[in-house]
Copies of this chain bind each other. A is one copy, B any other.
Amino acid sequence: MEKEKPLILLSNDDGVKAKGLNELIKALHGIGKIVVMAPDGPRSGASGSITSEYPVRYNKVREDEDLVVYKCTGTPVDCVKLALHEVVSRRPDLVIGGINHGDNSSVNVHYSGTMGVVIEGCLKGIPSIGYSLCNHSADADFSPLFPYVRRMAEEVLAHGLPQGVCLNVNFPDTPAYKGVRICRQTRGAWINEWERNRHPRGGEYFWLTGVFDNHEPEAEDSDHWALNHGYVAVTPTQIDVTAYGMMDELKGWNWNV
């Protein structure tokens, strides 16, 4: 009996029509059956958000050999939850978020809808990878990523990942890569985050923008350093966010009321 092909669930936060998602489908061609459930429009910055106030709908938009694509009215995390509950015939072997148009290294992991997809896959016990390219443009060139995207998916399918660990993979916006580096999340923060404008009928409104302030630009083990120096950054990421190192100190505080 032929071995069953791996089942791979894809989603993203740039929406079902985004180039990054459609390039991801091409990059993975032939390595398994692919199911896509992606938002029906842009959800950039959706993080791990879920839709609790409204109902969610989905419908099929494309079907080819070993490929079926659905679009969904919900968030990236809703897409993963709904695909797992409603459309897949069995538990996927791999969940992939991306390919995101834009950098999800460092603290961006907390805002990223792409990493929302990946963390949700991981919470469901499925090996999960997020791919992001440090280029926001709608027509960015994703072709240099293809062999890496495929190789990493094959490695994760072969080795699996420990429960509670997923991968956040970011690609620098350079024509050639110096290699792959295993990294930790860079310490830093966004600053100067709002651009103020005056509405023609009065009052002010604000666009979220900003500059990333790297608190440790010389840290060679950090993901931002890797990207700035032409390396593909692989940051293993965990869903247990307990600050274990703080537990003993807190036990000594005065909690009496």
**Chain A residues at the B interface, C-beta cutoff of 8 Å:** 42, 44-53, 55-59, 74-75, 77-78, 81-82, 85-86, 107, 109-111, 113, 116, 119-120, 123-125, 147-148, 150-152, 155, 159, 161-162, 164-165, 167, 179-180, 182, 184-185, 187, 189-190, 193-194, 196-197, 203-208, 232, 234-244, 246-247, 250-251, 253-257
Contacts and interface: CB of A to CB of B under 8 A. Distances in A.
Given A49-B111, A155-B255, 17 more contacts: A45-B50, A45-B51, A47-B116, A49-B49, A55-B205, A55-B207, A56-B194, A59-B203, A107-B239, A110-B119, A110-B239, A123-B190, A182-B250, A184-B244, A185-B240, A238-B241, A241-B241
Contact of A247 (B42, B182, B251, B257): B182
A201 to B, nearest CB: 12
Contacts of A196: 86
Contacts of A203: 57, 59
Chain B CB count within 10 A is highest, among A45, A205, A236, A242, for A242
A175 to B, nearest CB: 15
A247 B184 contact: yes
Q: A-side binding surface: helix, strand, loop or mixed?
A: mixed
Given A50-B45, A235-B242, A164 B193 contact: no
Contact of A208 (B50, B152, B187): B50
A90 to B, nearest CB: 16
A187 B164 contact: yes
B123 A110 contact: yes
Given A81-B194, A235-B242, A243-B237, A56 B151 contact: no
A78 B236 contact: no
Contacts of A46: 47, 49
B165 A243 contact: yes
A14 to B, nearest CB: 11
21 contacts: A46-B49, A47-B47, A47-B49, A47-B77, A48-B110, A49-B111, A49-B113, A55-B207, A56-B207, A57-B204, A74-B208, A77-B111, A81-B208, A86-B206, A151-B256, A155-B254, A162-B243, A236-B244, A236-B247, A237-B242, A238-B241
A100 to B, nearest CB: 13
